[in-house]
A and B are shown apart, each in its own frame.
Chain A
Amino acid sequence: MRWLYVVLLTAGCSFTFDGAAPEIVLSGYPTDTTRLPRLNHAPVHSDYYVLGADSQWWLTLEERRGNQHIWHSVSLFPPGKEQEIVYNPDTDRSSVHAFYRVETIPGLGTPAYPGKTLLRLQTAGAAPEEAFEFPLGPAHLATGPWDNLFVYWVKDPKTKTFEIVRRDRSYRRTIPIPEGIDPEVPGLLLFSSNGQILFTRDKSGHLVKHYTDREVDIDLGIHKGQLMFDESRKVFYTFGHDGIHRTKLDGTGEIVLDPTPDPAYVSSYEDRFYYFIGRELRRVLPDGSEQPQVVSDGGITRLLGFAPDGQLMYSTVAANHYVHNSGDGWIGAWRFMERGRSPGFSVDRKRLRWLEHTAQHDGVGDLMQADLPRGDPVRLARNVYGWTEINDRRLLVVDNAAYFGTQNRIIAIDPDARTARWVANSAWHFSLLTATEMLVDLVTDTAGYDVVRMTIPPP
């Protein structure tokens, strides 16, 4: 009858024998984010950093209260200052150092009273500035570096010119729309890094540089294809039907780096351009001192980066084969990734990390790690949306994020100690403020999210 006793003792039970227990065990308790003060006053739809009038970084939260849309800016260094600006999402826009608000003054529809648009700039933490006047109508706004100047282009079939305006009102000039460009679809409008020059290109490929502080325009000649500027060398490159060309910024000294048609730029590494021509991966020095070299004649479909030892990190799968650019990953003959994305190296360049099996609609995957070279992959976390290595070498990870929801959380993984600590629950995004502080987006409401500032727990 012993068997009967055994049956009776174990009846009504279930047992799980799991030899595949997680390599890293999550411990600790999450910070009670419900007790942290919210930076927002209403559910947030979007947030971004802006440079305030005090030359410090602020955070602007796009909130909606009733029918009002509000730019709610809060100072971060030091915290405590706030500013709210009501805006019109259909016409107004924000940039890193200015909010652009549009006010329409309707006219009578006659040449004498055509109406006008008032464009008013304002920096976070400062009062609104004096408005600029422009013709009536929807416009394209291209902002220059640090919002020190901008292009205002009225999108109207009758438009013949556009304006370059310096914010400090020191200069304002009008430039004809490049020949052949549809006034309703502005073409290339590219500022130099100091804002002194604006590049435009007409339909035939004439590249023109316009000075933004004087009435000088220089035709650089016809340069079609993909453009790349190197202001440190005072040159620009084109990748087009006629191959790769290098030209000085004054339009002289054009040389051909590779005459083969239709190169597709991929990356630069150790001062060389890497580019595809068809299925062939090539590289060339941008000064033209060497002939182009064939790196791969077809096995490499995508270049993912370069390993610390200089080897190519690549994929044999096209970026659009799977969703979210997922694909395999190789370093030399080592296939470290089956079908993932975002491979990257640790700060000490001794480890490789990536998201595995991300060919799913939300692009999440398992956070994997392998020691270099050719270490065995170890899974650090599942359903990871993003991660960052912080100063103490731990990884801040958004995991449990198979889809957007309250189950999303932030954990801190110590890859050396193989431990993980719970940081914040209901959190789907973070951004580091300092080595010890971060902003965390919390999934708390159906109409948006909350933003809190919290300290990164120590190890």
Chain B
Amino acid sequence: MFHRLIALAALTALPALADPVPGRLVGRVFERGSVSPIAGATLSSTGSEVAITDDNGHFELSLSPGPHEILIADERHEPMRATEQIRSGEGITVEYRLVPLPAYRRRYQTIVHGESRHEGARFSLRNEELHQTPGTLGDPFRAVALLPGVTQPMPLLPLYVVRGASPGMSGFFLDGMRIPALFHFLIGGGVIHPRLIDRLDFYPGSYDASFGHFAGGIIDAATRPARSDAPLHGEAQLSLYDLSALAEVRLPGNVRIAASGHYGYPGPLIHLIDPSVDINYWDYQLRMDWRSLTLEALGSFDSTVADLSNYQSLGRSGNVAGEYRVAFHRLQLRHRPHWRHVDLDTALVGGVDEMAVLGGFGVRKLALSARAHARFHLGGWQALRLDDLTLSAGIDAELSRFRGSNFPLPDVIGEAPDQLGELSGDRDGLSGGLYLQATGEFFHRRLTTTLGVRADVYHVGQVTLLGIDPRTTLRIKLMKGLALTGGFGLYQQPPSFPVALPGIDTYALQLGLQRAWQGASGVEAALPADLTLAATGFFARFANINDAVIDFTPTVCTSPPPESLSGLPAIVTRQVAGDSFGMELLLRRHTGRLTGWIAYTLSRSERVFSCGLRPADFDQTHVLNIVAQVRLPWNLMAGARLLVQTGRPYTQVSLDELPDNTPLRNNQRLPTYVQLDLRLDREWVFKAWAIAAFIEVLNTTYSRSILAVTYPTTMIDTANITRYDLPVPVGPQWILPALGIRGRF
């Protein structure tokens, strides 16, 4: 650039030797509302040279004396014009601040995000979709509930059923780590600071062999390193029920540190719904990056305290500890070197999980795991029309130690520690996985296919499980803007508690592996007006899966509990077979003033009960999510989300039914559920900092979230009879306002 400047100066100086000596314009270009310098911005003036900012936003421009209109432009920011008075032989120092373009107006994404190394049909969320989608309270993980293939059987609770599988079959990964939960209780949101999330991929099924240990959908999130463009970035958000903060620091040697966390105080809000429940939560994240090394520490804590006066009927009296508490902590050291043809991703992870149920008994898990993934780019082989071949291999292993724990409590009588059954037993576990996979791109990259197999092994006590899962994925580009996708494979998982909870895994291996044969095929099309359409059909056949029981009608067309379980696991777990099939549609618009999507899922999930194949307790035929966001003047963004979903099934019987005329399970459905959420964002951008405010109201329709169907007990003669003929839906009518402000620099 220096030579260009010299040449330009010479060309302009030669004809006018008598002209005054030029002056210099020196300065930096920043992003408005931030301390981030802008690299690569161009500065130009009529008839003068052009300067380009360096990595620190510095520039230097030589200009003839007199007034100059300077045009500062960058593809991710609004262009800016400034008039400067240049004096002969003198220099002036300036600072320009460009207003960033909203994401929908950016032509090019110049920040390179971490890309997923997994194959398979997925839905990816980035940028504003992660933080400002209505219906999510600004939490990226909640946006998963708005995608096709996902049903939320108990609105308000972050409990997701993916393509008809049991909730406990979905896996959560963060930066490659398996974590036991993504959400705090109820309205607590995600366990990771939303602004630390760089990418969130949701794989509803039929993904490749690189994901293991789960037989259902996968949520794979990645955090980002601290920004290196300034010594310090920070932000804080204060809302009605929690406080969050994020700080990013650049140290010498390009060491980057990001620290963030939440502290929740949702008590007053929760009391509006149920005065007998109190909730507290917090989480923290610390990420340090240096070259290809990343050190991460994160953790989450949730506590729910409930008034358990009704527990007297369980034989308890006196002080009853009504606290339900879960917590987990992770420490990961990750190394991701890259050579010319090889990408390597290795990590060592240590973790602690804790869960305590009402009564103070619980489980504590210590785990140490290691994993390594490698991708070898082998190039093409034109004789086979193969443009590129990539081989992937990976291995992971985890050693875990589970201990039943009696967490500190006040004096308690009438304790029931055995209610935890197999969850509370002391045990040491070993689990491991290995996969090999080849990805080939053929016919000028029109056909991409992946063929892989993985083997997973689990060992506890005297029981060892081994599963071998073949999987394949396919993608065919028929023409520009039109592609076919597909995938098929076996997905196996060790026995799981029906709902993913910290400290509960690698247990009850005697039940055998849960199995799901999954297949999906779809079409993706680019439509006019920046619309994309994806339609996917899926089918899954489940065997030996651990389903949750949410309908406790015990004598009507039931499925027996696993005989080898006891206590709570035996009560809430069913070992069943079944099918799930359906169709997903996603019409989406990423760009423009109006963005959003329409996601519709038509599905049927069935289980084999004693009276035959019947709808699963979680089955919901229609789920429609309409998400719309519109950018308004004055940095306003308004959004709305409409959810319409079929009620889940339940069973109603008549007291006069004869045994031979037993009614079928799940013969009724709860009412259709409708929920409308509204959100409004506004940002005020100042010189080096910005402040934003949002207001979001979930469930403005004040719909009732039915958490369970109970059956009252009445005394008939001398016996208590459960009135299965009189089901009573239980759950709150609710509305959840959220109001917050966020400042950043």
Q: Are B566 and A18 in contact (CB under 8 A)?
A: no
Q: Which residue of B lies closest to A324 (CB)?
A: B315
A169 touches B (CB below 8 Å): no
Is B464 part of the contact surface with A, judged by Cβ < 8 Å?
A: yes
Question: Complex: how many Å from CA A62 to CA B721?
Answer: 13
Q: With the chains together, A260 CA to B147 CA distance in Å?
A: 75
> Within 8 Å CB of A89, what residues of B?
716-718
Within 8 A of A (CB), among B659-694: 659
Q: Is the CB of A403 within 8 A of B453?
A: no
Interface string of B562-579 (1 = CB under 8 A from A): 011111101100000000
B704 contacts the other chain (Cβ, under 8 Å)?
no
A404 contacts partner chain B, Cβ-Cβ < 8 Å = yes
Contact A444 to B659, CB < 8 A, known contacts A14-B515, A46-B718, A323-B314: yes
In the complex, how many angstroms separate the beta carbon of A186 from the nearest chain B beta carbon? Answer: 20
Q: Taking CB as reference atom, which chain A residue is nearest B466? A: A15
**Are A16 and B513 touching (Cβ within 8 A)?**
yes
B718 touches A62 (CB 8 A): yes
The answer to whether B462 touches A18 (Cβ under 8 A) is yes
Task: Check if B413 is an interface residue, CB within 8 A of chain A.
Answer: yes
Instruction: Report whether B463 and A19 are in contact in the complex, using a CB–CB cutoff of 8 Å.
Output: yes
Are the CB atoms of B659 and A320 closer together than 8 Å?
no
Give residues 315-345 of A contacting B (CB, 8 Å). Answer: 318, 320-324, 326, 339
Contact at A406–B510, with CB atoms within 8 Å?
A: no
**Which A residues lie within 8 Å of B415 (CB)?**
321-323, 359
Instruction: Verify if B724 is at the interface (C-beta below 8 Å from A).
Output: yes
Cross-chain contact A382 with B564 (CB below 8 angstroms): yes
Task: Return chain A residues, CB-CB under 8 Å to B655.
Answer: 43, 446-447
- Residues on B with beta carbons closer than 8 Å to the beta carbon of A357: 418, 566
Which of B418, B492, B515, B717 is in CB contact (< 8 Å) with A358? B418
Pairwise interchain contact B470-A20, C-beta atoms closer than 8 A: no
Task: Evaluate whether A322 and B414 lie within 8 angstroms (CB atoms) in the complex, with A12-B468, A360-B421, A447-B721 already known.
Answer: yes
Shortest CB–CB separation between residue A6 and chain B, in angstroms? 10
User: B453 is contacted by which of A7, A69, A406, A446 (Cβ under 8 Å)?
Assistant: A7
A254 close to B (CB within 8 Å): no
CB of A18 within 8 A of CB of B510, answer yes
Contact B555–A402 (Cβ < 8 Å): no
Contacting pair B555 A446 (CB below 8 A): yes
> Are B717's CB and A46's CB within 8 A?
yes
Whether the Cβ atoms of A11 and B718 lie closer than 8 Å is no
Does the CB pair B316–A403 fall under 8 Å? no
A14 touches B467 (CB 8 A): yes
Check B718 against A445 for contact (C-beta < 8 Å): no
A383, B719: Cβ atoms closer than 8 Å: no
Partner of B315, one of A11, A69, A323: A323
Q: Kindly provide the distance from the CB of B549 to the nearest chain A CB, expressed in whole angstroms.
A: 10
Contact A445 B555 (CB under 8 A): yes
Q: Does A2 contact B (CB under 8 A)?
A: no
Contacts of A69 in B (CB 8 A): 716-717
How would residues 432 to 474 of chain B score, 1 for a CB under 8 Å from any chain A CB and 0 otherwise? 0000000000000000000001000000011111111110000
Give the number of residues in B that approach A within 8 Å (Cβ atoms): 60
Size band of the A side of the interface? 35 or more
A360 to B423, CA, bound (A): 13
Q: What's the nearest-Cβ distance from chain B to residue A223, in Å?
A: 31
Question: Could you give, for residues 542-565 of chain B, a 1 whenever the CB lies within 8 Å of some chain A CB and a 0 otherwise?
Answer: 000000000001111010110111
Q: Taking CB as reference atom, which chain A residue is nearest B610?
A: A406
* A431-459 at interface with B (beta carbon < 8 Å): 443-448, 450
Q: Are B721's CB and A45's CB within 8 A?
A: yes
Taken residue by residue from 298 to 324, chain A's Cβ proximity to chain B (1 for < 8 Å, 0 otherwise) reads as: 000000000000000000001011111
Residue in B316, B418, B724 whose CB lies within 8 Å of A446:
B724
A170 contacts B by Cβ under 8 Å? no
Whether A360 contacts B717 in the complex (CB less than 8 A), given A20-B462, A20-B510, A322-B415, comes out as no
Instruction: Tell me whether B592 is interfacial, beta carbon within 8 Å.
Output: no
Instruction: Find chain A residues with CB under 8 A from B463 CB.
Output: 16-20
Point out the residues of chain A lying under 8 angstroms from B469, CB to CB: 11-12
Task: Check B79 for interface membership: any CB of A closer than 8 A.
Answer: no
Q: Is B257 an interface residue (CB 8 A)?
A: no
A185 to B32 Cα, complex, angstroms: 83
Q: Is B512 interfacial (CB 8 A cutoff)? A: yes
Q: Once the chains bind, are B416 and A360 in contact (CB under 8 Å)? A: yes
Q: Is the CB of A407 within 8 A of B561?
A: yes
A361/B461 in contact, CB under 8 A: no
A residues in contact with B563, CB < 8 Å: 382-383, 400, 407
Q: Closest CB of chain A to B243's CB: distance in Å?
A: 39
**Chain A: minimal CB distance from B739 (Å):** 42
- Asked whether B237 is an interface residue with its Cβ less than 8 Å from the other chain, the reply is no
With A360-B416, A402-B565 known as contacts, the answer to whether A450 contacts B659 (CB < 8 A) is: yes
Interface assignment of B317: CB less than 8 Å from any CB of chain A:
yes
B414 touches A403 (CB 8 A): no
User: Does chain B have a CB within 8 A of A13?
Assistant: yes
A359→B554 contact, CB < 8 A = no
What residues of chain B lie closer than 8 Å to A382, measured between beta carbons? 563-564, 566
Verify if A405 is at the interface (C-beta below 8 Å from B): yes
**Residues of chain A within 8 A of B567, CB atoms compared:** 360, 402
- Shortest CB distance A19–B (Å): 3
- Kindly provide the distance from the CB of B285 to the nearest chain A CB, expressed in whole angstroms: 36
Report yes or no: A359 in contact with B717, Cβ–Cβ below 8 A: no
What chain A residues lie within 8 Å of B461 (beta carbons)? 19-20
Known: A11-B453, A360-B419. A17 touches B464 (CB 8 A): yes
Q: Cβ of A443 and Cβ of B314 under 8 Å apart?
A: no
Residues of B near A62 (CB, < 8 A) are 717-719
Cβ–Cβ contact B571 & A320, under 8 A: no
Q: By the criterion CB–CB under 8 Å, are A19 and B570 in contact?
A: no
Which residues of A are found within 8 Å of B555, using beta-carbon distances? Answer: 405-406, 443-446
Does B225 sit at the interface, judged by CB under 8 A?
no
A33 → B minimal CB distance (Å): 11
- Chain A residues in 8 Å Cβ range of B513: 14, 16
The answer, yes or no, to whether A365 is at the interface (CB within 8 Å) is yes
Is B88 interfacial (CB 8 A cutoff)?
no
Does B722 lie within 8 Å of A446, measured CB to CB?
yes
| CB interface residues, B 698-724, toward A, < 8 Å | 716-719, 721-722, 724
CA distance A324 to B553 in the complex (A): 25
Q: Report B-chain residues with C-beta under 8 Å of the C-beta of A444.
A: 555, 659
Q: Is A393 an interface residue (CB 8 A)?
A: no
In angstroms, Cα B661 to Cα A71, docked, is 25
What are the residues of chain A within 8 A of B316 when measuring CB–CB? 323
A194 beta carbon closer than 8 Å to chain B? no
Residues on the B chain within 8 Å of A361, using CB: 314-315, 416, 419
CB distance from A218 to the nearest CB of B (A): 37
Known: A14-B467, A20-B510, A446-B556. 11 other contacts (CB 8 A): A11-B470, A13-B468, A14-B468, A17-B465, A19-B462, A326-B418, A339-B418, A359-B416, A382-B564, A444-B659, A446-B653
A selection of 28 A-B contacts at a CB cut-off of 8 Å is: A7-B468, A16-B465, A19-B463, A34-B659, A43-B655, A45-B716, A45-B717, A62-B717, A64-B716, A321-B413, A339-B418, A360-B416, A360-B419, A360-B568, A361-B416, A365-B418, A383-B563, A400-B561, A402-B565, A402-B567, A402-B570, A402-B571, A406-B555, A444-B555, A446-B555, A446-B655, A447-B655, A448-B719
Nearest 8 A/B pairs, CB to CB: A19-B462, A45-B719, A402-B570, A407-B560, A405-B554, A20-B462, A11-B470, A360-B419
